[in-house]
Amino acid sequence: PRAIWLSRHGESMYNVSGQIGGNADLSPQGWAYAKKLPQIVADSVGPGELTVWTSTLNRTQQTASNLPFKKLQWKALDELDAGACDGLTYQQIAEDFPEDFKARDDDKYEYRYPGGESYRDVVIRLEPIIMELEKNENILIVTHQAVLRCIYAYFMNIPQEQSPWMDIPLHTLIKLEPRAFGTMVEKIKANI
């Protein structure tokens, strides 16, 4: 593809309370990003058409809700499943699941939440997404931090084991341009 655009969902109510997982709505700040996103996208993409891919979760659909383009939902773009830890804060996980907290710290890529997923699991379920992306032009993906870390590492040719540490800031549109010599990156931060 000529270029791919990526964005995390706007700040959610769970981001505000420090909880992971769930299916929270956007916070007021998140809605402010959703409102600004069409202009930011238009400035970066130009006059062309775009297809927007979201996850099945409220926060990505709300973030994309003002974009005047065709939208497609993918279950494969849902956030890393935190299983038994879904809805908890990191502090609660450290208190209630101390061994898991340590295991994740020791090997964040391989660690799988009880009844949930690891980063490796996410990389594997993203394979069809990557294949579709390679075939298509002008896609904007609005999804979640862990998922974007894996997609970003793939296009940046960074070993997948490093995905858990990729920096994918909130309220920022990322433009990736894959080229023969490597992928060019532009990060456009929303002014909110």
- The residues assigned a catalytic role are 8-9, 15, 59, 79, 144
Element (H, E) at 6: strand 4-8
Query: Is 33 assigned to a binding site?
Result: no
* By the rule CB under 6 A, 82 interacts with ligand G3H: yes
Query: Is 171 assigned to a binding site?
Result: no
* By the rule CB under 6 A, 146 interacts with ligand G3H: yes
The answer to whether the beta carbons of residues 172 and 190 sit under 8 Å apart is: yes
Q: Total residues contacting ligand G3H (rule CB under 6 A)?
A: 9
Instruction: Work out which of 79, 93, 125, 151 binds ligand G3H, going by CB under 6 A.
Output: 79
How far is it, in rounded angstroms, from Cα 58 to Cα 22?
Answer: 10
- Binding segment for ligand G3H (CB under 6 A), chosen from 22-30, 65-73, 92-100, 142-150, is 142-150
* By the rule CB under 6 A, 164 interacts with ligand G3H: yes
Query: Is 179 assigned to a binding site?
Result: no
The answer to whether the beta carbons of residues 137 and 1 sit under 8 Å apart is: yes
Which residues have C-beta within 8 Å of that of residue 13, sequence separation ≥ 6? 24, 25, 26, 27
Q: Which of positions 98-127 make contact with ligand G3H (CB under 6 A)?
A: none
Query: Is 131 assigned to a binding site?
Result: no
* By the rule CB under 6 A, 4 interacts with ligand G3H: no
How far is it, in rounded angstroms, from Cα 119 to Cα 94?
Answer: 19
Helix ranges (H only) for the chain are 13-17, 28-45, 58-64, 90-96, 98-106, 119-125, 127-135, 145-155
- Residues at the interface with ligand G3H (CB under 6 A): 20-21, 79-80, 82, 144-146, 164
Give the annotated binding-site residues: 8-15, 59
Give the annotated binding-site residues for substrate: 8-15, 59
